[in-house]
Structure 1
Amino acid sequence: MMDSTICDLGDLMDYFPNPAYLWKRNGSKLIFVYANNIAKQIPGANVRQMMGLTAAEAYKNQPEIYEDLWFCLNNKKSFMKRIDYKYVTKEWTRNLIALFSYIPKDYVLIITVDETQERIHTRQLKDTKRKYQFIIEHMNDLVAIINTDLIIEYMNEQAHLKELGYNKTELIGESLAPGFIHPEDFWKVEYILENICSQEEITKEIRLRHKNGTYLWFGVKSKLIRDLSSETENKLMVISRNISQEKKFIKELEESESKWRFFLKNAPDVIFTLDRSGIIKYINHPPTGLTPEQVINTTVYEYVEPDHRDIVKEAIKYVFETGNSTTYEIRARGPENSVSWYSTRVGPLTKREEIELVILITRDITEKKQYEKKLKELSSFKSQLMRRCSHELKTPLISIMGYTELFYNDHHEELTPQMRFKIEEIEKGCKRLNVIIKKILDSLKYSSGLSEIKPRKEDLTFLINFIIDELYPMFTTRNLTVVKDLPNEVWVSIEKEKIFQVVENLLINAIKYTPPPGTISIKVYDYDDKTICVEIEDTGIGFTETERTKIFKKFGKIERFGKGFDVGIDGSGLGLYISKKIIELHDGKIWVESEGRNRGSTFYFTLPKTDN
């Protein structure tokens, strides 16, 4: 690629804000070859009459301008001076400031500024000269002028140094021999020379030799520069851009595409693309008995069970409208025309930031569905078994509790202290077993999704104070201090009995797992505009990170027996699971924070507020 400021000066001059005139040496003469649009618009100048004139003819009445032109050309210098210029067709003279600029090779450019606007135009002229020089010498692309003998006559040095490591003294006057151009690419240079006169501009990809001996790929644009006074002195403007990284990227892309095609061919999943209408545009594994050609351009809905077609339509519509991915499970045509279950992920395929197609990755999950069905059956059987066992345990337990109480009351005076103690232990065990059975039945009810709540407006502060009063003997027995930070009243929408169960469970746990002497704090505050938060903090044995992940699961009890803690060890592992389900039924959430073993713990849960 060649710099337009040297190779096509006329185009560049038309951007100048001042009149500009271009002269070209032809032997012993200077020929007027171009004037920019600004110069052509000067009233009375009529520069078109000057085209083709020699400098001697144009300035026969002003020999000092003629001499300045030759001085600039012969000395290859640029300078600025004030001149009095008389226009050709008008009997009036303008005082001008003229910038004479030498341009390789054999060109002189005159840029003029009306002295009446000297300050403004001088500044503009300097800016123009600075930009002009910057464009010539600081382009990132390689710019060179070569003649038909492939001799380099001009090059922008900084770009050549940066890209190829050569300075002017190493290239100017040198030939573009096959050593500088890769031998396998030299035929492209010969093609350019043979065809440039008819095509005027030719682009090729050519490898050029770096000074260190390596070859780099360049996109080379060659443009013919016609000599205005000779048919035999044409030159080439060559602009070259380093495309080595681009070529490397294309190679990597081709390799990536090859790997992608290999992946698609050998992937166990069915991968296909669809347009907005559900037309299949690509598929790696068509249904058994069909070829890809038979499937492409058919609709995906032909292979989907009728009652699941709307699911597919909605998924495709969603991806095209939002650009997000989605998943679904459907029944569709499988091997040997069987109907199988498939799990599918749908995502967008974009082109120029527009969603062109959607891609679907589909996996046969028929076997998984069969396992899930068996697991559901087993889960249902387990729940029925636990429910039946719980009921079967409850019936004799009621009899044991009833007859124990009756026996104790009827024979109280006849019993020795040791006998009374044993009967009381039987009663305690029965009550504990009864609580466990109740929790098992509750957990089954919550896990089945059959549980409902009937919320009413309640004062949570009153409820918490009531629970603390009921548990006060336990606090004193364990030598624990209770700290309350409660508002006078907090109105929430809850089912009182169930929230009673949650708060009581959390406080009893705090009592059991806080060694004496310790502190248990409970506070209530606004969580946000619509919810309140209950916070119960203790100075107990705390939780490890692993334990925190287990405690809200069914039977997620953390075993404390034999660990050396001065804490209670009884419990079913269902209390926090049930508490979580109750809070979720109230559209709240529950969580725990703990810094680790013996660092205490804090339980939080939120509830919806209501107006008093």
Structure 2
Amino acid sequence: MDESITKELESLKQKVAELEKKLKWSESFLNEILGMTNVIVVHLDLNGNVVLINKAVERITGYASDEIIGKNWFSTLVPKERYPHVWQLFESFKAKGEVVEHFENPILTKDGEERIISWRNSTLKRDNEIIGTLSFGIDITESLYILDQFVDQQRSYKALIDNLPGIIYRCKNDESYTMVRISDKCFNITGYKSEDFISKKISFGELILDEDKKSIQKQIDEAISLNKPFQITYRIKTKDGNIKWLWEQGISILDENNTYLEGYIIDITEKIKAEEQLELQREFFKQLFENSPIGIVILDKYDKIIDVNEAFQKLFYFNREEVIGLSINQLIVPPDLKSEGLNLSNKVLNDEVVITETKRMRKDGTLVDVLVIGYPILHKGERVGIFGMYKDITEQKKVYEMLKQEKEKIEELNQLKSSFLFNISHEIRTPLNSILGFSDLLIGELADSQLNDLKEFAESIKRGGIRLLNLMDNIIEISLIESSKTELNLEKLNVIMVLDPVVNSFESVASEKKLTIEKDYQSDFEILTDAKRLALVFRNILDNAFKFTDRGGVKVRTYKKSESDTRSLGVIEIIDTGIGISEKFMAKLFEPFTQESTGLNREYEGIGLGLNLSKRLIEILNGKIEIESKSEKGTKVRIIFNLED
């Protein structure tokens, strides 16, 4: 029996030894695995003290096992003041006995570096009692960094896509161009949102105009067959009904199930419109260039001919092919005008516009009178050529010469007329003065007689003589002005000293017509003038005022008026209450030999020289004359002089 027990004990010892051997091997194997793995293994007791760690903890934290085991994990690696939420989780575990199975939190390594650990946690029990926690952790710091980089790249990519002016897309190569991916810029171009295309609420193919669809598919198919990118231009109808031109560049992506298209689309509507407008302008210029009756030449910046139009060829007898590339000055400028031609070219090359009349030489050597116009051609502010025009003015020259000769004849006749009028006025003036003298004697002799008819006859002779004498004075002045022989006797004069005697000379006329004369000399002022000519102006204007006034009277005013701080005006106004002037006749008021009432039955005397002469004399005396009048409302004549300070 003892032997049997002994054998049993020996057997048990062998089994225990084998189990211990296996256990040691298992522990060794487990320790080997735990040592080799990059997964952190941490066993904490209920107080958070470290019971067990593996080599990965040492590698990641920088602490040796003897620096951690037995120490509080949280105090060592997760400072409370920095990571309070981690402490709160462990305190919750201690209170409730439940761990958070998965969470991520940072730890501080021995050298102060922060590492992010992703944990898997479980509770450890003995005899059904919790004795601590067992946690497996993976260092995800680099992974998070890579993820952040990826997110940043995605964000940058999205920002890039969103800020591109066109559409980035991926679609199926089917009739509808079914979109798999399309950027948000599609809304700006089509009026539809990206989700409208992705959800198939609308297909891109539906937007393309029917007449463009076949051409698009043909170009895409050809590009796919050659394994090349495609570039296509087509039109779509947007959501709001507008037609837009699009330019698309893409490439086919082949997989085992479908062929996809990827590419970029931009709106080129404005570009197409600009090109159409440019083409229209080109065509307009081409037709203007070819059909212009004026010879046109286009030169480069070296004065060489680039092109000429039909009119240029006809004007100078050259064919276009003969002149391209030749110097314009060598081609059509006569030898004796070479310097002139070079000077004109230099002016245009210095950005001047030249317009001149000159002569140019045809292919057969004959000369032609031309009007030359030269413009610099500028591109982005830089001179790139010259635009020249040549107009044949041979006929105009002939007409000009003829008109010049006619003008000279007219001027000669005008001189003869002026001389004739001047001479005849002098010839008439001499006997007229005699007649006036005898009429004065006759009036004096008859003053005390009862021969009233004879007295009236003598006074009529005197009035007619004075009127004729005034007419002669006007004619002489007109003749002097037209022959440029007016000689002024300028002196500083008080205007009232010239004006008042003339006004007084009309007292007998006013008395005879029962008209009033009102003098309102508010200011006297001096001007540099010719007393004789100024008095003649006053006499002509007053003569009209009394002639055309039957009721009321004539008012004469003088005053000064400030035009600015440094300039003042002297004004003379002659105002009547006569018949006035119609609005229609005002435009002809200063024309010589014109009167509102004409013909043999006209009511008022005169030949229409007074106002014309007055205006011309006032302008010679550096003044100006203004007239305000309405029919049946009287007339105001205003004479204005600048006064010296």
Shorter-normalised TM range: 0.5 to 0.7
- Mapping 1:155-166, distance limit 5 Å: 155=182, 156=184, 158-162=187-191
Change (3 A) 1:252 1:497: same
Which among 631, 642, 645 is matched to residue 597 of structure 1?
631
Deviation, 1:574, is 3.0
- Take 1:439 and 1:308, find their aligned partners in 2: how far apart are those partners? 55
- Take 1:381 and 1:402, find their aligned partners in 2: how far apart are those partners? 31
Please name the residue that 2:585 is paired with.
Answer: 547
- Take 1:308 and 1:543, find their aligned partners in 2: how far apart are those partners? 61
- Take 1:494 and 1:275, find their aligned partners in 2: how far apart are those partners? 61
Which among 205, 214, 236 is matched to residue 262 of structure 2?
236
- Take 2:476 and 2:553, find their aligned partners in 1: how far apart are those partners? 34
Please name the residue that 2:428 is paired with.
Answer: 397
Deviation, 1:398, is 3.4
Change (3 A) 1:333 1:247: same
Partner SS state of residue 604, structure 2 = coil
Please name the residue that 2:560 is paired with.
Answer: 524
- Say whether 1:610 aligns with 2:644: yes
Tell whether the 8 Å contact from 1:274 to 1:282 is kept in structure 2 after alignment: yes
Deviation, 1:526, is 3.2
Deviation, 1:383, is 1.0
Decide which moves more: 425-434 or 84-93.
84-93
- Take 1:108 and 1:317, find their aligned partners in 2: how far apart are those partners? 65
- Take 2:398 and 2:290, find their aligned partners in 1: how far apart are those partners? 23
Decide which moves more: 333-342 or 178-187.
333-342
Tell whether the 8 Å contact from 2:418 to 2:480 is kept in structure 1 after alignment: no
- Say whether 1:153 aligns with 2:180: yes
Tell whether the 8 Å contact from 2:502 to 2:539 is kept in structure 1 after alignment: yes
Please name the residue that 2:329 is paired with.
Answer: 299
- Take 2:168 and 2:514, find their aligned partners in 1: how far apart are those partners? 91
Letter in 1 for 2:573: I
- Take 2:277 and 2:359, find their aligned partners in 1: how far apart are those partners? 39
- Say whether 1:479 aligns with 2:496: no
Tell whether the 8 Å contact from 2:558 to 2:572 is kept in structure 1 after alignment: yes
Deviation, 1:373, is 1.6
Deviation, 1:220, is 1.0
1:126-145 per-residue CA deviation (whole Å, 9 max, x = no partner) reads xx99x969x84x99856644
Please name the residue that 1:585 is paired with.
Answer: 620
1:159-181 per-residue CA deviation (whole Å, 9 max, x = no partner) reads 354499x9534445869988484
Decide which moves more: 453-462 or 405-414.
405-414
Tell whether the 8 Å contact from 2:168 to 2:265 is kept in structure 1 after alignment: yes
- Mapping 1:3-14, distance limit 5 Å: none
Letter in 2 for 1:517: G
Tell whether the 8 Å contact from 2:245 to 2:272 is kept in structure 1 after alignment: no
- Take 2:382 and 2:636, find their aligned partners in 1: how far apart are those partners? 50
- Take 1:331 and 1:233, find their aligned partners in 2: how far apart are those partners? 74
- Take 1:315 and 1:469, find their aligned partners in 2: how far apart are those partners? 69
Letter in 2 for 1:479: L
Which among 490, 499, 510 is matched to residue 534 of structure 2?
499
- Take 1:441 and 1:312, find their aligned partners in 2: how far apart are those partners? 53
1:527-547 per-residue CA deviation (whole Å, 9 max, x = no partner) reads 343462535363554445543
Tell whether the 8 Å contact from 1:273 to 1:281 is kept in structure 2 after alignment: yes
Change (3 A) 1:260 1:525: same
Deviation, 1:299, is 3.2
Which among 91, 94, 106 is matched to residue 113 of structure 2?
91
Change (3 A) 1:189 1:310: same
Change (3 A) 1:312 1:109: same
Letter in 2 for 1:610: E
Please name the residue that 1:100 is paired with.
Answer: none
Deviation, 1:379, is 1.8
Letter in 2 for 1:607: F
Tell whether the 8 Å contact from 1:387 to 1:444 is kept in structure 2 after alignment: yes
Q: Which has the larger radius of gyration?
A: 2
- Say whether 1:370 aligns with 2:406: no
- Take 2:538 and 2:300, find their aligned partners in 1: how far apart are those partners? 55
Partner SS state of residue 328, structure 2 = coil
Which among 480, 486, 500 is matched to residue 445 of structure 1?
480
Partner SS state of residue 605, structure 2 = coil
Tell whether the 8 Å contact from 1:524 to 1:533 is kept in structure 2 after alignment: yes
Which among 555, 559, 571 is matched to residue 534 of structure 1?
571
- If asked which structure has higher relative contact order (CA below 8 Å, sep 6+), I would say 1
Change (3 A) 1:269 1:420: farther
Letter in 2 for 1:183: K
* Unaligned residue ranges in structure 2 (runs of 5+): 1-103, 117-147
Deviation, 1:390, is 1.6
- Take 2:167 and 2:244, find their aligned partners in 1: how far apart are those partners? 12
Please name the residue that 2:595 is paired with.
Answer: 558
Deviation, 1:376, is 0.8
Change (3 A) 1:377 1:404: same
Task: State the TM-score, normalizing by the size of structure 2.
Answer: 0.57
1:239-296 per-residue CA deviation (whole Å, 9 max, x = no partner) reads 22142x6545544554454444434444444455678998776654334434455496
Change (3 A) 1:220 1:362: same
Letter in 1 for 2:410: S
Which among 281, 284, 289 is matched to residue 317 of structure 2?
289
1:385-428 per-residue CA deviation (whole Å, 9 max, x = no partner) reads 42244245335523542553465477775995445544544444
1:12-56 per-residue CA deviation (whole Å, 9 max, x = no partner) reads xxxxxxxxxxxxxxxxxxxxxxxxxxxxxxxxxxxxxxxxxxxxx
- Take 2:553 and 2:516, find their aligned partners in 1: how far apart are those partners? 5
- Take 1:506 and 1:449, find their aligned partners in 2: how far apart are those partners? 24
Partner SS state of residue 222, structure 1 = strand
Partner SS state of residue 544, structure 2 = helix
Please name the residue that 1:382 is paired with.
Answer: 413
Decide which moves more: 415-424 or 380-389.
415-424
- Take 2:640 and 2:300, find their aligned partners in 1: how far apart are those partners? 46
Tell whether the 8 Å contact from 1:163 to 1:242 is kept in structure 2 after alignment: no
- Take 2:151 and 2:196, find their aligned partners in 1: how far apart are those partners? 29
1:203-262 per-residue CA deviation (whole Å, 9 max, x = no partner) reads 543233567999x452414266999x99x998523222142x654554455445444443
Letter in 2 for 1:550: K
Letter in 1 for 2:234: I
Q: RMSD over aligned Cα, in angstroms? A: 5.6
Tell whether the 8 Å contact from 2:474 to 2:609 is kept in structure 1 after alignment: yes
- Take 2:106 and 2:542, find their aligned partners in 1: how far apart are those partners? 104
Which among 260, 268, 287 is matched to residue 262 of structure 1?
287
Deviation, 1:603, is 4.2
- Take 1:429 and 1:335, find their aligned partners in 2: how far apart are those partners? 73
Partner SS state of residue 573, structure 1 = coil
- Take 1:531 and 1:598, find their aligned partners in 2: how far apart are those partners? 33
Change (3 A) 1:153 1:549: farther
Letter in 2 for 1:536: E
Partner SS state of residue 299, structure 1 = helix
Letter in 1 for 2:178: I
Letter in 1 for 2:233: E
Tell whether the 8 Å contact from 1:344 to 1:361 is kept in structure 2 after alignment: yes
Tell whether the 8 Å contact from 1:537 to 1:600 is kept in structure 2 after alignment: no
Partner SS state of residue 401, structure 2 = helix
Change (3 A) 1:561 1:299: same
Deviation, 1:333, is 5.8
